[in-house]
Structure 1
Amino acid sequence: MRTKLLLIAALAGGFPAVAIVPAAIAQATAPAPREIAYGADPLQKLEVYPARARGAPLVIFVHGGGWKRGDMGNATGASKVQHFTGRGYAFATVNYRLVPAASVEEQAADVAGAIAALLSRARELGFDPAKVILMGHSAGAHLAALVATDPRYLAKTGIGLDRLAGVVLLDGAAYDVPAQMAEAGRFMHGTYEQAFGTDPARQRALSPTLQAAAPNARDFLILHVERDDGTRQSEALGRALQAAGARVTVQGLPGRGLRGHMAINRQLGDPDYPATAIVDGWIDTVVGAR
């Protein structure tokens, strides 16, 4: 079996030095995660793996699950943790309160609260607070996009959208909630109505595409698989963000239906999965330019 190699950045004499370390060694020496509560509810907590080298990026992952299920223990995907910590990054995965006990507005507030809690600990966790990447899958992609387009959520924590270096969205399909609900089949309509209700004004307020007028986070990578709704929604969000002045890359990946939708989450971080190199290159470009 070929040895997998990881590039791990360290700082030496003020300049970045690169060491090549076998993946098995990198994983064995990965820092243990820390649990941080960012609110009083039992679900308002996150796990974070501190950076291995000072000044590393932080990737914050928001899980999916139709806004009503999932958690950081079963919906993050082991490959992400191993891959990003292997690159030397800090990596955090976030729990949030779930529908119907909480509203989608409260879920977005939870994501914002988790970001603020991590930024307040940047020094102790070893990451560069100017190199924060927010990432989400499915419903988590919707929540990440909402926090990155509607400044009110982060503003309530005392920080601005400029604290996000970039946003990675993995196969979301509810960036324009009214359009998605109008096109959804019977299988998903109940999930959308439970999350977004029937009030058109509320649905628009919870639609990142319809909240994409500036200000927004500055850089977006929007990935989707071969699903008609995910493709339409991703492309429309990309156009709206570009029109508002954001830098946006929208890219499709192989994989159809639910199988492809799950694969983009579970396999991101696997060096043989196409999205891994795409995300790595995009993060390197975004944080290297700041």
Structure 2
Amino acid sequence: MKAIASLSATLCAASLAAAPFLAQAQVSAPAPASVPAPNAAPAVPAQPVTPTARELSFGSHPLQRLDFYRSALPGPRPLILFVHGGAWVGGDKSDSTGSAKIRHYTQAGYQLASVNYRLLPEVDIEHQADDVAASLAALLDRSAELGIDTRRVVLMGHSAGAHLAALVATDPRYLKRYDLTPEDIGGVALLDGAAYDVPSQIVDAGPLLGFAYQVAFGSGSSRQLSLSPANHAGGDNARDFLLLHVERPEAQRQAYRLAEALRGAGTRATVAGVPGRGMEGHNRINAMLGRSDSQATPIVDEWLAGLFARSAF
């Protein structure tokens, strides 16, 4: 418990340090005002509208909920399912998505959902991955009602959420319970994730956080490997991966380790770095995604466009 608290406290401290960036990410730059006609009232700049969330349940636990944001465009649309971070012990669907991300992707024609999942220490990581799989199944079961194109599905995750998204997209056990396979996922976008290769992550983390990771993932190599997406990447995977990292050496190593395993299985995997140092950069990549001044936004947008252009539907 002390180790889990340490991991959570480290994350919280980093989040507080990045608070100015998180707050800034919620403010959109105003649209340029048009030149008013003579004697006309000053024009009011149009502000982008963030769609209202519709909360859906996929289980009986209070955290087995997701927020669904409908696309601004009609018809069946691609789905992005976002998995929040929080060191597997915290975070929330409402505070980990960012209004810029919601506006950007719904206006671009995507249905967007942000999922909660049960947290350590109440449940283990296996149950967290199951929650992600269950939430995806619930959305696809209601695809006609929600306007989801089931052939175009993307998982997106940040930090611990990137680990869970990658695990569900590489280890078929989680989706199998819901009559789905990793190949039902068109693409996976991972934002500065962790623990793609749990044993090496524990070594990289150092003594204190390494012990905290052992509490979360177990001290035995068998369980650590079973929770490592890189260990499962040799089998059936989601069809395409984008792995973003900031200027954190351990995050970069984890991204390349997973990409190498995916490519070895014939799965397309793209790795890209964006500016941002340490935990400040780690928080910023998520908070800023969807803004025009985020260097991650065009990378993700281009990958999404290429993903669906390459896919045969």
Q: TM-score, normalised by structure 2?
A: 0.83
Structure 1 runs not aligned, ≥5 long = 5-22
Mapped pair 1:100 → 2:100:
no
AA at the equivalent of 2:254: Q
| Residue in structure 2 matched with residue 46 of structure 1 by the alignment | 66
**What's the CA shift for 1:56?**
1.7
The structure that is strand-richer by fraction is 1
Mapped pair 1:146 → 2:167:
yes
Distance, in Å, in 2 between the alignment partners of 1:51 and 1:255 is 30
**What's the CA shift for 1:186?**
4.0
Please identify, of 177-186 and 111-120, the stretch whose mean Cα deviation from structure 2 is larger. Answer: 177-186
> Quick check: 2:75–2:147 contact (8 Å CA) kept in 1?
yes
Of 219, 226, 239, 1:205 maps to 226
Distance, in Å, in 2 between the alignment partners of 1:248 and 1:72 is 26
**What's the CA shift for 1:32?**
2.3
Change (3 A) 1:24 1:281: farther
**What's the CA shift for 1:187?**
4.7
* Cα deviation digits, residues 80-106 of structure 1 (max 9, x gap): 111111212110000000000010000
* Cα deviation digits, residues 164-185 of structure 1 (max 9, x gap): 1100000012100011112212
| Residue in structure 2 matched with residue 3 of structure 1 by the alignment | 31
Distance, in Å, in 2 between the alignment partners of 1:78 and 1:191 is 32
Change (3 A) 1:120 1:68: same
Distance, in Å, in 2 between the alignment partners of 1:50 and 1:272 is 24
Distance, in Å, in 2 between the alignment partners of 1:191 and 1:58 is 34
Mapped pair 1:218 → 2:246:
no
> Quick check: 1:57–1:132 contact (8 Å CA) kept in 2?
yes
| Residue in structure 2 matched with residue 129 of structure 1 by the alignment | 150
**What's the CA shift for 1:275?**
0.7
Of 36, 53, 56, 2:56 maps to 36
| Residue in structure 1 matched with residue 101 of structure 2 by the alignment | 80
Of 162, 166, 187, 1:166 maps to 187
| Residue in structure 2 matched with residue 15 of structure 1 by the alignment | none
AA at the equivalent of 1:224: H
Which residues in structure 2 correspond to 1:102-121 (within 5 Å)? Answer: 102-121=123-142
Question: Helix, strand or coil: the match of 1:66?
Answer: coil
- How many residues get paired? 270
Distance, in Å, in 1 between the alignment partners of 2:80 and 2:260 is 25
Moved over 6 A (4+): none
**What's the CA shift for 1:208?**
0.5
Of 220, 224, 230, 2:251 maps to 230
CA RMSD between the two structures: 1.6
**What's the CA shift for 1:24?**
4.3
Change (3 A) 1:137 1:39: same
**What's the CA shift for 1:58?**
0.9
Distance, in Å, in 2 between the alignment partners of 1:208 and 1:24 is 44
| Residue in structure 2 matched with residue 10 of structure 1 by the alignment | none
* Cα deviation digits, residues 74-133 of structure 1 (max 9, x gap): 222222111111212110000000000010000000000000001111111112111111
Structure 2 runs not aligned, ≥5 long = 1-28, 33-44
Please identify, of 231-240 and 48-57, the stretch whose mean Cα deviation from structure 2 is larger. Answer: 48-57
AA at the equivalent of 2:55: E
> Quick check: 1:214–1:245 contact (8 Å CA) kept in 2?
no
Q: TM-score, normalised by structure 1?
A: 0.89
**What's the CA shift for 1:272?**
1.1
Task: Report which of the two structures shows the higher radius of gyration computed on alpha carbons.
Answer: 2
Distance, in Å, in 1 between the alignment partners of 2:131 and 2:303 is 26
Please identify, of 46-55 and 230-239, the stretch whose mean Cα deviation from structure 2 is larger. Answer: 46-55
**What's the CA shift for 1:288?**
2.7
| Residue in structure 2 matched with residue 13 of structure 1 by the alignment | none
Change (3 A) 1:187 1:256: farther
AA at the equivalent of 1:141: A
> Quick check: 2:71–2:107 contact (8 Å CA) kept in 1?
no
Identity within the alignment, % = 50
Question: Helix, strand or coil: the match of 2:93?
Answer: coil
| Residue in structure 2 matched with residue 269 of structure 1 by the alignment | 290
